Chains A and B, each alone.
Chain A
Amino acid sequence: MRTAANLSNGEKARITSVDLRHPSARRILEIGFTPGQEIELLNKSFFNDPLAFAVRGTIIAIRKDEAKSIIVE
């Protein structure tokens, strides 16, 4: 199963689902990572964590752990 955390810099992917068991799931959805959306990994921080994604016209930084709950095609 591929997640947003597996993407490499500049790679695009479409979200298939979000793992609703993750404690931050609601916020992840609220901020725009919803099924069907296309996202792109833009930058990784020095320690490869957090990651910056393009989603719905903006940049959102989330932790790798949170990116793992975003399942992509």
Chain B
Amino acid sequence: MKSSQPVVILIGAPNSGKTTLFNHLSGKNFKTVNYPGSTIEYHTSGFQSQFNIDAILLDSPGIISVIPNSPDEEVTINSLFEHPSFGKPDLIITTADASQLSRHLLLVKQLIECGFKVVVAITMNDILKDKSLAIDAEALGKLLTVRAVKINAKTGEGISELLEAVKSSLQEPAKEIKKEVCERWNDSENLIKTFSEIEEIENKVLRPLNPSQEQLEKANKELSSLILQEDENKILPESKTLKIDNFLLHPFWGLVIFFFVMALTFASIFWLALPLMNLVDYVFAFLNHAVIRELGHTWFSDFIAFGVIDGVGAVSIFVPQIIILFLILGFLEDTGYLARGAMLIDKPLSKIGLNGRSFVPMLSGFACAVPAILAARTIPNRRERLLTIFVIPLMSCSARLPVYVLLLSFLTPPDYYWLAGLGLAAIYVISILSSLLIAAIIKRFNNKIIKAKDDSSFILELPTYKFPKLSIVFHNAMISAKAYLSRAGLVILSISVILWFLTYFPDYNPNIPNINKASEEYFQLANSERIENSFAAMIGKVIEPVMKPLGMDWRIGLSLVPTFAAREVFVSSLALIFKVTAKDNQLQVSLISAMRNAKIAGSNEPLFTASKVVGLIVFFIFALQCMSTIAVSKQETGGWRIPLLQLFIYSTLAYALAFITIHGLQLFGIP
């Protein structure tokens, strides 16, 4: 599709200010990040109407050259020649950071020589000013034969000049784009040659802000521009960043701080997310109860209370953790710390076949595996990227939290709340350790499981430290949470409704003699009778043989079946199958007492015992129970091989380890 509107695309190195400019021009508020390569999706918009430019504006992930090095760069570069939905762009606005002009001019020069119509937006002039330097944009434009404008998209300075340049350039005829010219930069000699041309340009356009008398005289004499003397300012980045790095990248303290930051990130789940989760739980339990109380026991009230309300509750309950984790990640990303974390952890990760660049994707895996797998695109080495994608589902994502909380509360006496917290911390540690262990094991068998050639590298720009704009961090966390909800919400809700249907029919009106139809006892008996004869029970009994070795019956088995589509539904499907009515307090509390009372069918043995509940926890640590993860893993690895292997290996592992745990614990006398 190529619309009549011209297409303007923002291209530039990571952290050169593309998204900031995009937001300013479009009036939108998208993610600006300080971790190289983290914009992995394109954002599209028009120009704000006040700017009077009728064109489509695209943001893009950062690239430093027209020769791609990783899949995320490849996507950007391919779309320069032919964007999948907008065709060939009419104009490129390329951003170049004034404080590292010579590096960023490489891409600018490449784009111009390939034949693209280019307007150069020079950003970060304020940072250069702190070094008492400035760029002569007009001179730069002349030397490059394009329009170059100094801007600051944070304050709006220079934007009107930029818009003028965009308008004029759009009116000029397009030139022929020569892809073969672009490919010339595959050649290292050509790169070196281009850089020496760039250095010449840089010397002509970089000027001291307050030239000394001596320099002025010299310049006059030579009738040339103010050439800078070999200036130490030119190689050194901002001094504030250097000072902070001496601390955060300190050989010893750097590591201490790293572990402290990570510990704090996870602790926030306990301190912030858990209380909020309980609140969500409370609200939905209250609603469930209110519906039954107001509408009585009919199929309709049952559907609303147990199908819809509990289903929506199952969707909502981990939203707090998702938002909190995305907030923290966004904050760390924006400060510039995540790039340092990647550097600090590169060596140990490379030992097990991963890469420092696996760090950010794996960390986001604790919120949700789907964006995490997408973020793995920034890993250049295919083998390392596939391995990262392979282990991401082991990261304890937010959807598991409600399950762990329920099962841990079952295990620990109510007065020992801290014990459950300790258990949760242990689960997170186990999930991290097992992902590292599995990565290490796969590395041993590397060629059999992940086929790719080995040319591992770690080259990462460490951006200057910035204090994040909290409103943007917050806004982005909300966008991530919304993306998550729209992806998972419908699936989870549908599963809840289907499951409700399966547990309610066909024997929806069981006949129970000799009991007053209005009594609470009657409803309990009717409920269990209805479930015993339901479609769900029929399905459950088919899978019962699989559950037997674990000492579980069809009811747990049936609660597990839908979790393979989305593990989020475990708590609500348990509640549905054990027909828990919230008694004006948290669903969890009622569910736990129902679990304590449940007996294995036809016997007096308790269904849930300590060993089996621990076994269930182990099952959830390993099992890959998420349709969206499988879909995105297929998309990102380019086939069914990896996702099917993941599904098979993790499910087998989950079952086997749950079996070993349960019987091992029972050997030690734990019921």
Q: Which residues of A contact B (CB under 8 A)?
A: 12, 18, 20, 23-32, 34-40, 42-50, 52, 54-63, 66
Q: CB within 8 A of A49: which of B102, B250, B347?
A: B347
Query: Contacts A43-B246, A44-B251, A46-B254 known; A58 to B343 CB distance under 8 Å?
Result: no
Is B251 touching A52 in the complex (CB atoms < 8 A)? no
Q: Judging by beta carbons under 8 Å apart, are A26 and B188 in contact? A: yes
Q: Contact mask B234-255 → A, CB, 8 Å, 1/0? A: 1111000110011001111011
**B191 near A24 (CB under 8 angstroms)?**
no
Task: Choose among A27, A47, A52 the residue that contacts B249 (Cβ–Cβ < 8 A).
Answer: A52
Please, which residue of chain B has its CB at the minimum distance from the CB of A55? B235
A to B contact number (C-beta, < 8 Å): 144
**What is the distance, in angstroms, from B254's C-beta to the closest C-beta of chain A?**
6
Which of B188, B234, B458 makes the CB contact (< 8 A) with A50? B458
Chain B proximity of A62: nearest CB distance (Å): 5
Asked if B462 CB lies within 8 Å of chain A CBs, one says yes
- Decide if B447 is an interface residue (CB 8 Å cutoff): no
Whose C-beta in chain B lies nearest to the C-beta of A51? B343
Inter-subunit contact B346/A63 (CB<8 Å): yes
Interface residue B428 (Cβ < 8 Å from any Cβ of A): no
CA separation between A40 and B233, bound complex, in Å? 12
Nearest Cβ on chain A to B187's Cβ, whole angstroms: 9
Which residue on chain A has the smallest CB distance to residue B15?
Answer: A58
Interface segment out of the listed B61-69, B475-483, B588-596:
B61-69
CA distance A36 to B189 in the complex (A): 14
Contact B196 A50 (CB under 8 A): no
Interface contact B192-A29, CB-CB below 8 Å: yes
- State A58–B67 Cα separation when bound (angstroms): 21
| CA distance in complex: A12, B236 (Å) | 11
Contact B348 A47 (CB under 8 A): yes
B344 contacts the other chain (CB 8 A): yes
Task: For residue B348, give the distance in angstroms from its CB to the closest CB of chain A.
Answer: 7
Question: Is there contact, CB below 8 Å, between A56 and B188?
Answer: no
Query: Closest chain A residue to B67 by CB distance?
Result: A26
With A47-B347, A47-B348 as known contacts, state yes or no: A36 contacts B236, CB within 8 Å: no
Q: Quick check: B186 and A26 within 8 Å, CB to CB?
A: yes
Nearest chain B CB to A18 CB, angstrom units: 7
Give the residues from 341 to 376 in chain B that come closer than 8 angstroms, CB to CB, to chain A.
Answer: 342-344, 346-348, 350, 356
Is B103 close to A, CB under 8 A? yes
Instruction: Report whether A50 and B462 are in contact in the complex, using a CB–CB cutoff of 8 Å.
Output: no
B134 to chain A, nearest CB (A): 14
A66 touches B234 (CB 8 A): no
Instruction: Answer yes or no: B460 CB below 8 A from chain A CBs.
Output: yes
Query: In the docked arrangement, what's the CA distance between A5 and B377, Å?
Result: 28
A39-B235, A63-B457 known; A52+B462 contact, CB < 8 A: yes
Q: How far is the CA of A47 from the CA of B235 in the complex (A)?
A: 25
Please indicate the chain A residues that have their CB under 8 angstroms from the CB of B95 in the complex.
none
CA distance A25 to B356 in the complex (A): 19
With a CB–CB cut-off of 8 A, which chain B residues contact A42?
Answer: 242, 245, 249
Report how far A60 CA is from B69 CA in the complex, Å. 16
CB of A61 within 8 A of CB of B65, answer: no
Interface size class of chain B, counting residues whose CB lies under 8 Å from the partner chain: 35 or more
What A residues does B100 contact at CB under 8 A? Answer: 32, 56-58
Asked whether B235 lies within 8 Å of A61 as measured between CB atoms, the reply is no
22 CB contacts below 8 A, A to B, read A23-B457, A28-B459, A29-B188, A29-B192, A30-B64, A31-B64, A31-B459, A38-B235, A40-B235, A42-B242, A45-B254, A54-B235, A57-B103, A57-B236, A58-B461, A59-B245, A60-B462, A61-B343, A61-B458, A61-B459, A63-B458, A66-B459
Q: Enumerate B569-589 residues with CB–CB distance to A below 8 Å.
A: none
In the bound assembly, the distance between CA atoms of A23 and B458 in angstroms comes to: 12
A30-B64, A45-B251, A57-B103 known; A50 vs B192 contact (CB < 8 Å): no
**Chain B residues near A54 (CB-CB < 8 A):** 235-237, 242
Taking the complex as formed, is B106 at the interface, i.e. its CB lies under 8 A from any CB of chain A? yes
Chain B binding surface, main DSSP class: helix
With a cutoff of 8 Å between Cβ atoms, the chain B residues found around residue A32 in the complex are 100, 102-103, 195
- Measured in the bound complex, the distance between the Cα atoms of B199 and A56 in whole Å is 10
Query: A59 and B241 in contact (CB under 8 A), knowing A29-B188, A31-B461, A34-B191?
Result: yes
Q: Mark B272-290 against chain A: 1 for CB-CB distance below 8 A, else 0.
A: 0000000000000000000
Bound complex: CA of A61 vs CA of B251, how far in Å?
14
Complex CA–CA separation, A46 to B349 (angstroms): 13
A59, B99: Cα distance in complex, Å: 12
Contact B188 A18 (CB under 8 A): yes
List which B211-245 residues lie within 8 A (CB) of chain A.
230, 234-237, 241-242, 245
B344 touching A46, Cβ below 8 Å: yes
User: Does B457 lie within 8 Å of A24, measured CB to CB?
Assistant: yes
Query: Cα distance A36–B246 when bound, in Å?
Result: 26
| Cβ contact within 8 Å between B457 and A27 | yes
**Chain B residues within 8 Å of A24, by CB:** 455, 457, 459
Task: Give 15 A-B pairs besides A32-B103, A57-B102 with Cβ atoms closer than 8 angstroms.
Answer: A29-B191, A36-B199, A38-B230, A39-B235, A42-B242, A43-B250, A47-B347, A57-B99, A57-B235, A57-B237, A58-B99, A58-B462, A59-B462, A61-B459, A66-B458
Picked from B196, B235, B245, the residue with its CB within 8 Å of the CB of A56 is B235
Tell me the nearest residue of chain A to B65, going by C-beta.
A30
**Contacts A58-B461, A59-B237; is A26 near B191 (CB within 8 Å)?**
yes
List of A residues within 8 angstroms of B461 by Cβ: 31, 58-61
Residues of A within 8 A of B460 (CB): 50, 60-62
- Nearest CB of chain A from residue B652's CB, rounded to whole Å: 35
A62 to B458, CA, bound (A): 6
Collect the chain B residues with CB atoms within 8 Å of residue A61's CB: 339, 342-343, 346, 356, 458-462
| Residues of B close to A26: CB separation below 8 A | 67, 186, 188, 191
Q: A59-B461, A61-B462 are in contact. Are A50 and B235 (CB under 8 A)?
A: no
**Nearest Cβ distance between residue B428 and chain A, in whole angstroms?**
23
Instruction: State how many angstroms separate the Cβ of B234 from the closest Cβ of chain A.
Output: 6
**CB atoms of B245 and A34 under 8 A apart:** no
What are the residues of chain B within 8 A of A38 when measuring CB–CB?
Answer: 230, 235
From B195, B251, B458, contact of A46 by CB (8 A): B251
